């Protein structure tokens, strides 16, 4: 994957609220093709707040080493 000179990239991650799973659970769903942004979707229970989702994404991108490239995390509800 070639990165532009500025080193910033956009990630779109779908957040799907599921009612048939545990209410406080967050499950990552990965893409089929392995790329740098392999996280494709987050499945969450009905009692998960937006702050918990932001915290999960910050931890995930921190483990991947991509926190320097993130300027903003915006959740659309």
Question: What separation in angstroms does the CA of 10 have from each of 48, 55, 77?
Answer: 24, 18, 19
DSSP-assigned beta bridge partners for residue 30: 39
User: Is residue 47 situated within a structural domain?
Assistant: yes
In a domain, 51, yes or no: yes
For the beta carbon of residue 48, count every other beta carbon within 10 angstroms.
20
- pTM score of the predicted model: 0.73
Count up the domains in the chain and report the number.
Answer: 1
What range defines the domain where residue 56 resides?
14-69
**Phi, then psi, of 67 in degrees rounded to 5:** -70, -25
- pLDDT tens track, the chain, 77 positions: 555 566 566 667 888 898 899 999 999 888 777 665 678 889 999 999 989 998 998 898 888 887 777 777 777 75
């Amino acid at each position: 994957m070639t990165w532009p000179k500025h080193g910033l990239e956009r990630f779109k991650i779908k957040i799907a609220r599921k009612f048939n799973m545990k209410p406080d659970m967050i499950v990552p769903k990965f893409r089929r093709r392995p790329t740098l942004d392999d996280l494709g979707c987050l499945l969450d229970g009905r009692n998960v707040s937006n702050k918990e989702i932001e915290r999960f994404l910050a931890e995930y991108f921190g483990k991947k080493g991509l926190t320097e490239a993130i300027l903003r995390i915006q959740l659309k509800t």
